[in-house]
Structure formats: C-alpha cells, structure tokens
Chains A and B, each alone.
Chain A
Amino acid sequence: DTAVSQTPKYLVTQMGNDKSIKCEQNLGHDTMYWYKQDSKKFLKIMFSYNNKELIINETVPNRFSPKSPDKAHLNLHINSLELGDSAVYFCASSSWGTGSETQYFGPGTRLLVL
C-alpha cells in the first residue's frame, strides 16, 4: 500500500554511465516532482510534471531528462554521470489545486557515483 515508491533504493555506478530512476504513485495525484538532496541535506526541486506535461524545469544540467509516461509515473534518466550527481533523489506527488496541497515524498534513491 506504498503511496509513492521509487526504484532502485540504492544505485552505485561509475562516472560516465547512464542510469534511470523510476517513481510511481498510487494516490491518484496528477502532479509529480523530482527533488535532489545533497550531502548537506539541502533539498532542491528539479522538475515537476502535471498530467504528463512539464511545468517546472529548474536550472538542471541537460544530462538530466525526466519523462512521464502517464500521470502516475515519473522517471528520471541521467546521462554521463558525474561525481557531483551523488545525492539522494526524491520523487513526490500532489494533487492539482490552489497550491497548498500536501506533497507526498517517496523513500528516496541514494545515488553514488564513483
């Protein structure tokens, strides 16, 4: 009965590789987000999709490409991984409304680039 799930939970890879992280929510929400939490615990939004449409695209290297096949799924593909990409990546979802809806976060994907 997990609300927001992410796979994989851990990802260890070499510099230069390409990897994907997947997110699924079963809350019936139509808006999904990707956040990056760095080693100092700072949380920053990267992208947001509403009904498969990109609505937030922060200043993120174009090596990062989100894709939303449907409103319950949001994936993140990262090309040519760099050491600085090591972080915890969180997916979140919320309903569409006034802007004060609760965002529900997934458990995170811990990415380590060697």
Chain B
Amino acid sequence: QQQVKQSPQSLIVQKGGISIINCAYENTAFDYFPWYQQFPGKGPALLIAIRPDVSEKKEGRFTISFNKSAKQFSLHIMDSQPGDSATYFCAASKENTGFQKLVFGTGTRLLVSP
C-alpha cells in the first residue's frame, strides 16, 4: 500500500514556466514533509521541507503548499530552468524520538525545455 502518492509521473515544462508536483498522504500521524531532488547518477538531496503547522513555505523559486484537511501537499517551481531538470520525490515521516523514517512518493521526472 503506497502511503504517499505522487503525481504526475513525468512533467515537461518550458523554461520560465511553473512546474507543479502533487502528493497525497494517508497517515494523519505524518508531521514532516520534505521534498528531495535527484539528478541522474547522484543521490537525492533535500530541497525544501514543511511541517503541518504552516500552509506554505517558500525558499527562492521553490514553494511548498500544504493542505492538512485534504492531506495533500505540492511543490511549485517558479521560473523553471533547464538546470531544474531532475527527479523530484516527496516524502513524509512522523516524529519519532530522534530519527526519521521517511516514506517516499514514487517520484516525478521533470524536464525543463530551453
């Protein structure tokens, strides 16, 4: 059973456009929601993360929108650039004593065309 569902599977956006990736979760105990970016041949790297006490978090061109009642969160990439072409993973975890047990979405392959 997939605890975190991610869509779309792939996305093509023109340079300068907005990329939007959506995730939905089932476990209401989740309270930490990071997004990871993975380039080909590399390990995932944390991009931005949010906790459910806020509905939006922005860091540069990247914004997470969070809807607790709908159990959904999304990543928006403004002014998308070819260098943003990568696979993006949403994830979720619930607060444990000291450590994270991340449950990942299935990933979205983003291609930003020049």
Binding site for B on A (CB under 8 A): 4, 31, 40-45, 48, 50, 55-56, 90, 92, 94, 96-108
Besides A41-B87, A43-B104, 14 more A-B contacts (Cβ < 8 Å) are A31-B99, A41-B109, A42-B106, A45-B102, A48-B99, A50-B98, A90-B44, A96-B99, A99-B100, A102-B46, A103-B100, A104-B45, A104-B46, A105-B44
B15 within 8 A of A: no
CB distance from B3 to the nearest CB of A (A): 11
Find chain A residues with CB under 8 A from B44 CB.
43, 90, 105
Band of interface residues on B:
20 to 34
Assess whether A56 is in contact with B99, with CB atoms less than 8 Å apart: yes
Assess whether A44 is in contact with B43, with CB atoms less than 8 Å apart: no
B32 within 8 A of A: yes
Assess whether B98 is in contact with A31, with CB atoms less than 8 Å apart: yes
Closest to A91 in B: B43
CB distance from A96 to the nearest CB of B (A): 4
B residues 63-114 touching A (CB-CB < 8 Å) = 87, 89, 93-104, 106-107, 109
Find chain A residues with CB under 8 A from B13 CB.
none
Assess whether A107 is in contact with B43, with CB atoms less than 8 Å apart: yes
How far, in whole Å, are A106 and B97 apart by their CA atoms in the complex?
Answer: 24
Per-residue contact bits, chain B 31-52, to A (CB 8 Å; 1 contact, 0 not): 0101000100111111001010
A-B contact pairs, 27 of them (CB 8 A): A41-B38, A41-B106, A41-B109, A42-B104, A42-B107, A43-B104, A45-B102, A50-B98, A50-B99, A55-B99, A56-B99, A90-B43, A90-B44, A92-B43, A97-B98, A98-B95, A99-B93, A99-B95, A99-B97, A99-B98, A101-B100, A102-B34, A102-B46, A103-B46, A103-B102, A106-B43, A108-B43
